[in-house]
Amino acid sequence: MNSHNNAAAHARLRLFGVASAAALLLTAASSRAAAAAGDADRGETLYQGCQDCHSLDKNDVGPKHRGVFGRKAGSIADYSYSDGLKQSGLTWDEASLDKWLTDPQAFIPGAKMFYHLSEAQDRADVIAFLKERAR
């Protein structure tokens, strides 16, 4: 009803627009960084899904995970692996873990892990967790 209030309201709207555009840019930048590197914090949360079968320090349905990044596949002495995994000749790194977590049985025929992560970002984050926190 008076032009002064209208101008103030417009200025607030403009500021809000700038702030939310900046927030969007920041969000886009940080999710790009996470996609490249993997976010170990998020990976730690996602790892809860692995804990139905795995733990870091004890064999369970699946083998223990501490030190798995950089380890030869199928090499925990007191865990009973599938022949496929034992004979794979793989070493676990970003690329092999990414394929394994996409579809274990397509990657290694005869593998006995029934679980996968469909989202590339989820796989990158869990791999970052294993690499950085499961040493």
- Binding residues for ligand HEC, rule: CB under 6 A, are 49-50, 52-54, 61-63, 68, 73-74, 76, 81-82, 84-85, 92, 100-101, 111-115, 117, 126
Least gap, CB of 34 to ligand HEC (angstroms): 17
Q: Which is closer to ligand HEC, CB of 1 or CB of 121?
A: 121
Least gap, CB of 76 to ligand HEC (angstroms): 5
Q: For residue 21, what is the DSSP state?
A: H
Q: Which is closer to ligand HEC, CB of 101 or CB of 124?
A: 101
Least gap, CB of 45 to ligand HEC (angstroms): 11
Least gap, CB of 6 to ligand HEC (angstroms): 55
Q: Which is closer to ligand HEC, CB of 12 or CB of 72?
A: 72
Q: Which is closer to ligand HEC, CB of 25 or CB of 35?
A: 35
Q: Return the closest-CA partner of residue 74 out of 91, 59, 58.
A: 91
Q: Return the closest-CA partner of residue 124 out of 46, 63, 66, 52.
A: 46
Q: For residue 17, what is the DSSP state?
A: H
The single residue listed with the structure tokens 């730690």 is 44
CA 45 to chain centre: 9
Q: Which residues contact 82 (CB under 8 A, 6 or more apart)?
A: 108, 110, 111, 112
First to last CA, the chain: 66
